[in-house]
């Protein structure tokens, strides 16, 4: 799934077609659910296309639900603690995009994180801060409202700090039963998000049985077959589970 398709995630790490950053070589990560209650995570700072360990474990891991991410830094250091996905309990979280003026609002946003979740923070990225803030806002109880509260709080802090650069979000998270994804921005230019099965591409790479039974939520299509993919519009929340994909309108909750 990671290496074989025409426009695989590993291929995107070298030359993404729709990303602002064509090359995403500042680390990578995969998180997957298997026989334990908490997900497994493997992250490193090497470019995804140049890590033999990733190739080795990708051939061995079997999972009914996984998240994978390649990173292009937006100003924070290249370190394992800054690589996605981030994990807490049964949750996995990863993000494309940026909080505009992060260094101007970082302190104010981090102050909103509940102490029990701030202790989880080991890196310096805005993405990890958003995850901790979403947990503080009740991610376990109501993910949709937690995300709405989180985005509303971030926008409020940006406004109070006079930040003119945009907030851009394309994120995905999972609790082992579903994938929840969000596409939202303050300037309607958030990173792309698609959903589909990729059945034809997976069949061509020998994964046809997988393609008939899976749902994919991803930044770029795996192939150029237009009718295989649904482009997720701005201000949309996606919920993908064993029953299919639902897309709902999204609006931040005023802080």
Instruction: Look up the pTM and report it.
Output: 0.94
Flag whether 47 is in a domain.
yes
Flag whether 48 is in a domain.
yes
pLDDT at 237: 98
- What are the average pLDDT values for consecutive 10-residue runs of the chain, which has 255 residues? 90 83 84 94 92 92 94 84 96 96 97 97 96 98 98 98 97 97 97 91 78 86 88 97 94 92
Token pair of 103 as six digits? 């260094």
pLDDT at 211: 66
Please answer whether residues 10 and 226 qualify as being in contact, where contact means their C-beta atoms are separated by less than 8 angstroms.
Answer: no
Flag whether 4 is in a domain.
no
The number of domains in the chain is 1
Flag whether 24 is in a domain.
yes
Q: What domain range is 165 assigned to?
A: 9-249
Distance CA 190, CA 184 (A): 6
The strand pairing partners of 122, in sequence order, are: none
Smallest CA-to-CA distance from 93 within 126, 54, 48 is with: 126
Please answer whether residues 92 and 39 qualify as being in contact, where contact means their C-beta atoms are separated by less than 8 angstroms.
Answer: yes
Flag whether 2 is in a domain.
no
Please answer whether residues 40 and 11 qualify as being in contact, where contact means their C-beta atoms are separated by less than 8 angstroms.
Answer: no
Other beta carbons less than 10 A from residue 78's beta carbon: 13
Flag whether 35 is in a domain.
yes
Smallest CA-to-CA distance from 99 within 46, 167, 38 is with: 167
Flag whether 51 is in a domain.
yes
Chain position carrying tokens 């795996």? 222
Dihedral sign of CA atoms 201, 174, 137, 88 in order? negative
Flag whether 71 is in a domain.
yes
Any idea what the CATH number is for the domain that residue 71 is in? 3.60.20.10
Q: Is the peptide bond before 230 cis (omega within 30 degrees of 0)?
A: no
């Amino acid at each position: 799934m990671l290496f074989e398709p025409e426009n695989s995630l590993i291929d995107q790490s070298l030359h993404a077609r729709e990303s602002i950053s064509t090359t995403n070589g500042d680390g990578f990560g995969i998180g997957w659910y298997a026989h334990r209650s908490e997900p497994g995570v493997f992250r490193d700072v090497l470019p995804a296309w140049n890590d033999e360990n990733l190739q080795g474990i990708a051939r061995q891991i079997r999972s009914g639900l996984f998240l994978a991410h390649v990173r292009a830094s937006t100003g924070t250091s290249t370190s394992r603690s800054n690589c996605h996905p981030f994990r807490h309990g049964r949750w996995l979280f990863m993000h494309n995009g940026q909080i505009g003026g992060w260094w101007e609002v970082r302190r104010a946003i981090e102050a909103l994180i509940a102490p029990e979740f701030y202790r989880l923070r080991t890196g310096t990225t805005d993405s990890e801060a958003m995850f901790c803030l979403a947990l503080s806002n009740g991610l376990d109880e109501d993910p949709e409202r937690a995300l709405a509260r989180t985005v509303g709080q971030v926008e409020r802090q940006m406004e109070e700090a006079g930040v003119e650069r945009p907030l851009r979000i394309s994120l995905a998270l999972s609790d082992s039963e579903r994938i929840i994804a969000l596409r939202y921005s303050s300037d309607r230019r958030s990173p792309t998000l698609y959903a589909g099965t990729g059945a034809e591409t997976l069949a061509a790479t020998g994964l046809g049985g997988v393609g008939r039974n899976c749902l994919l939520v991803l930044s770029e299509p795996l192939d150029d077959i237009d009718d295989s993919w649904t482009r997720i519009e701005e201000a949309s929340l996606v919920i993908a589970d064993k029953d299919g994909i639902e897309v709902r309108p999204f609006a931040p909750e005023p802080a």
